[in-house]
Structure 1
Amino acid sequence: MSKPHIIAVPFPAQGHVMPLMEFSQCLAHQDFKVTFVNTEHIHKQVMNALADESHIRNDHIHLVSIPDGLEPGEGRNGPAMLFEATQAVMHKNLEELIEKINKGEDERISCLIADDSCGWALEVARKMKIARVVAFWPSAAATLVLNLSIPKLIHEGIINNDGTVLKYQMVQLGPKMPTIKSTNFVWACTGNSSTQKILFQFMEGTNKNVKLVDRLVCNSAYELEPAAFALEPQILPIGPLLASRRLGNSAGSLWPPDSTCLKWLDEQPPCSVIYVAFGSTTIFYQTQFQELALALELSNRPFLWVVRPDICDNPLYPEGYQDRLGSRGLMVSWAPQQKVLAHPSIACFISHCGWNSTMEGISNGIPFLCWPYFADQFIDESYICDVWKVGLRFDKNESGIITRGEIKNKVEKLLDDEDFRARALKLKEMAMTNVNEGGQSNKIFKSFIEWIKS
């Protein structure tokens, strides 16, 4: 009998590709065949980053690509351009791919799993009468609850019909939910009104997408967000999705990781290293970049700092910086983050609070210093600081800068208080219990497998 064949479609961005790839690898371990569909641009980056792609091939995962509708030179960093392009052309390209696959003997697609942001892919699945259609939500359940609350926010006069914030206030969608400033709503913190409108339409679209699917799965755990899951019980938690759970390597990174940093970590004392990483899209102005560099120097602690080549227009370190640091600080362009956070030398994580980073940090019992940039990162910061109490937020000065003094003080405050580490270790235990045999995420995953096979 042929294996059930799943087609997986992520939204074309790092924070979406990696968790769906991890989910696909979990499915491949259950003897499913998976065709993983990236855009051509993302596919090329993933293949370049995979020095050894055998662990993908052996897992019955077939990596394929379709065009995203943008020209090679067009910028893909802006969410607005990506949303418009993917909506315009990718549905037709996906249809053609599915038709081609379905012509093969014993190859027919029996299930489509698409990022909930890819409504066009879910519509294709319905149009082509694919038997099982699943939306995958890679972020916190609370972020999806916010999207689903848009009609209520409009009704209460907090936002208008295009997402513009009318009332500047703290919003809590339910008891024990994260509290967030209305100006920090996912679509409202872009600083650009046309991008905001496109993002808002996109977020509203996720509400319609939920109605197109048979199942809605989420990279979270019930005990991490009980209030969110109580408000929207159709969201099924199957996380945290981590490569370490499979004793495997994570795949789907868009940059080759510099694994030499693991040897450097081996040489550092336990719980001594500040790990600094801001994900794949955070951009710094030169002034802020230098303040952070000087703060890390002033901390007198060892640090590992991920400095992407595009993190700053021209990332210039303060004069004589690397000479003064010697071997105390290590800068790399990209790191194998799950392995770094699992390393015993890590003391804390200065993070942009993307959901993948948040899940990886809490799953390793690491306290946070929060530096959110945009989108859902402010909700994640509220979980970390206000709900779970495993981290601290930075305060900006009147010029909008997080100063070296503020960074140094918060590092000391976090690391001098044992309670942060103790709470982080409890949260780790809670997260891991969910994915272990008998845990709630584990049970939901097993039931999901049975449903696809039925």
Structure 2
Amino acid sequence: MKNAHILVIPYPAQGHVMPLMEATRCFTSNGLKVTFVNTEFIHKRLTHACLDIDCLGDLMQMVSVPDGMEPCDDRNEHGKLAETMFQFMPTKLEELIIDINKNDDEKITCIAADCYMGWVLRVAQKMDVRLALFCPSSTAVLAVTMSLKKLMDDEIINKKSGVILKDQKVQLSTSMPLMDPANFVWACMGDPITNQIFFDYLFLEGKEAAEAADHIICNSSMELEPGVFTLFPKMLPIGPLLATNKSARQIGHLWNEDSTCLTWLDQQPACSVIYVAFGSITIFDQLQFEELALGLEDTKMSFLWVVRPGTSDNLDYVFPPDYIDRIGSHAKIVSWAPQQEVLNHPSVACFMSHCGWNSTIEGVSNGVPFLCWPYFADQFVNKTYICDIWKTGVGLNKDETGIVTRGEIKSKVEQLLNNTLKENALNLKEKVADSCVRGGNSSNKNLNTFIEWLKEG
């Protein structure tokens, strides 16, 4: 029997590429051949940032297809990107598969696609290839996708547009968190046109793909989201998917990591540093940036702050006057950090985060309590998990003008470090470790079951 050959395709964003690359590392370590397909834009950034990481090996090749946008177009226009991919990429993916399949020994036997790339279903059906989906976010979001008909029937959302009809929280099952429909991913993208595009192309298409897929694997664990996996047994938790040691560093970054922050952390006392990082998409205006800077200073604690370059209309943020001189050696500011290694460092006391799912499970897996500052998409649901379900963090609230003030930051840091949240975080860490893919328990068993299915060809 010929070897299984898996075509893997993530949604073109760092939070989607990273966990799928970790899943791919699991596939190749079990003898599976993988062709990993990024958009040309992501492929260029990824290969540039990962030149120093020996992560591919003979069984994995990275290729790219165009996303349909022009080189000068802004990929942060999420609606335009989603619509263009939907219209352009299916044909390009078909052409790629046809080209690969010219070699009988290399033929694609399965497509493993990001669940937010639901249009891949049509390609899989046309090419007569098995389909598996991968959920890189909290599976609560995918549960919402799978429950769209119920939400329509209950008149929570409009059947055609997804527009929210009722201002009330919903709970898909008694063991799942309460969710505010206003924070459903497609409802909070910024404008009605983008919201509609996301509803049509990511969620309606995603629902159809999830129902048709042979398997759905998820970067989560039964301990983190038991309600979802009980409600939708088709979803298999295989996470958390994390780099397991320093010789197998985290892969999938689109920025070059500044490892000097680890040396700086080595010089700090245990549990003394606030780690501040808001992922690859969050953007603050200048006023909020300054308030955050001054709030961190007012805590009187040391902090490690990731400030991405060029994140505000292609202009760098401006620090308050004399700020860098005042904070001196009590702070370290970098453009990107090796986050898993940072969160595993004994000097880190807490994590001020946008609550993206990768950051969430990395913090959880290292027993670090959170200061939650969600920006959009699934991050609001993740905050609910952290603050209300797991009780491992506190939320940062905006004032009447929409600003998280320096006083709020100082107050919540004090609150976080003077209660039982750290103990809760350490307890959750132990529970998750018991299910982790490297622990040989539930997630590991699910992963092995999935890999055996892939090997069937």
- Once the two structures are TM-superposed, the CA of residue 245 in structure 1 deviates from its matched residue by 6.2
Corresponding residue to 1:402 among 387, 401, 404: 404
Number of the residue aligned with 2:381:
379
Number of the residue aligned with 2:188:
189
Number of the residue aligned with 1:99:
98
- For residues 4-63 of structure 1, what are the alpha-carbon distances to aligned partners after superposition, in whole Å with 9 as ceiling and x for unaligned? 21110011111111110110011111111111000000000001101324322x262111
Q: Matches of 2:281 and 2:165 in 1, distance apart?
A: 28
Number of the residue aligned with 1:143:
141
Number of the residue aligned with 1:367:
369
Partner of 1:326: helix, strand, or coil? helix
Contact 2:53 2:249 in 1 (8 A): no
Corresponding residue to 1:332 among 321, 331, 334: 334
How many residue pairs align between the two structures?
A: 451
Q: Matches of 2:26 and 2:124 in 1, distance apart?
A: 22
- For residues 101-149 of structure 1, what are the alpha-carbon distances to aligned partners after superposition, in whole Å with 9 as ceiling and x for unaligned? 111252111221011111222321221112x321111111111111122
- For residues 186-225 of structure 1, what are the alpha-carbon distances to aligned partners after superposition, in whole Å with 9 as ceiling and x for unaligned? 1112231111111111212211011231111111001111
- 5+ residue gaps, structure 2, are none
Amino acid at match of 1:379: V
Q: What pairs up with 1:25-424 in 2 under 5 angstroms? A: 25-56=25-56, 58=57, 60-130=59-129, 132-161=130-159, 162-201=161-200, 202-244=202-244, 248-313=248-313, 314-417=316-419, 419-424=420-425
Do the aligned partners of residues 83 and 372 (structure 1) sit closer, same or farther apart at CA in structure 2, a change above 3 Å counting? same
Q: Matches of 1:227 and 1:344 in 2, distance apart?
A: 32
- Once the two structures are TM-superposed, the CA of residue 312 in structure 1 deviates from its matched residue by 3.0
More off after superposition, 26-35 vs 165-174 = 165-174
- For residues 374-433 of structure 1, what are the alpha-carbon distances to aligned partners after superposition, in whole Å with 9 as ceiling and x for unaligned? 11110000000000000001111100100000011000100111x111111111111111
Q: Matches of 1:245 and 1:158 in 2, distance apart?
A: 45
Partner of 2:105: helix, strand, or coil? coil
Do the aligned partners of residues 305 and 138 (structure 1) sit closer, same or farther apart at CA in structure 2, a change above 3 Å counting? same
Amino acid at match of 2:279: G
- Once the two structures are TM-superposed, the CA of residue 274 in structure 1 deviates from its matched residue by 0.4
Contact 2:3 2:455 in 1 (8 A): no
Partner of 1:127: helix, strand, or coil? helix
Q: Matches of 1:256 and 1:284 in 2, distance apart?
A: 21
More off after superposition, 232-241 vs 200-209 = 200-209
Partner of 1:8: helix, strand, or coil? strand
Q: Matches of 2:219 and 2:8 in 1, distance apart?
A: 15
Amino acid at match of 2:415: K
Q: Which runs of 4+ in 1 moved over 4 A?
A: none
Partner of 1:24: helix, strand, or coil? helix
Provide TM-score, normalisation by structure 1: 0.97
**What percent of counterpart residues are identical?**
53
Q: Matches of 1:101 and 1:160 in 2, distance apart?
A: 42
Contact 2:119 2:206 in 1 (8 A): no
Amino acid at match of 1:432: A
Amino acid at match of 1:327: S
Q: Matches of 1:277 and 1:17 in 2, distance apart?
A: 18
Contact 1:390 1:421 in 2 (8 A): yes
Q: Matches of 1:245 and 1:383 in 2, distance apart?
A: 27
Q: Matches of 1:210 and 1:40 in 2, distance apart?
A: 26
Contact 1:289 1:312 in 2 (8 A): no
Contact 2:118 2:207 in 1 (8 A): no
Q: Matches of 1:8 and 1:246 in 2, distance apart?
A: 25
Provide TM-score, normalisation by structure 2: 0.96
Partner of 2:55: helix, strand, or coil? helix
Q: CA RMSD in A?
A: 1.4
Contact 2:168 2:181 in 1 (8 A): yes
Number of the residue aligned with 2:450:
448
Q: Matches of 1:113 and 1:350 in 2, distance apart?
A: 33
- Once the two structures are TM-superposed, the CA of residue 357 in structure 1 deviates from its matched residue by 0.5
Contact 1:370 1:393 in 2 (8 A): yes
Contact 2:119 2:205 in 1 (8 A): no
Amino acid at match of 1:142: A
Amino acid at match of 1:141: T
Partner of 2:106: helix, strand, or coil? coil
Amino acid at match of 1:41: F
- Once the two structures are TM-superposed, the CA of residue 99 in structure 1 deviates from its matched residue by 1.1
- 5+ residue gaps, structure 1, are none
More off after superposition, 242-251 vs 440-449 = 242-251
Q: Matches of 1:381 and 1:437 in 2, distance apart?
A: 26
- Once the two structures are TM-superposed, the CA of residue 253 in structure 1 deviates from its matched residue by 0.9
Partner of 1:412: helix, strand, or coil? helix
Partner of 1:147: helix, strand, or coil? helix
Q: Matches of 1:427 and 1:357 in 2, distance apart?
A: 15
Do the aligned partners of residues 146 and 279 (structure 1) sit closer, same or farther apart at CA in structure 2, a change above 3 Å counting? same
Contact 2:370 2:386 in 1 (8 A): yes
Partner of 1:401: helix, strand, or coil? coil
Amino acid at match of 2:425: A
Amino acid at match of 2:9: V
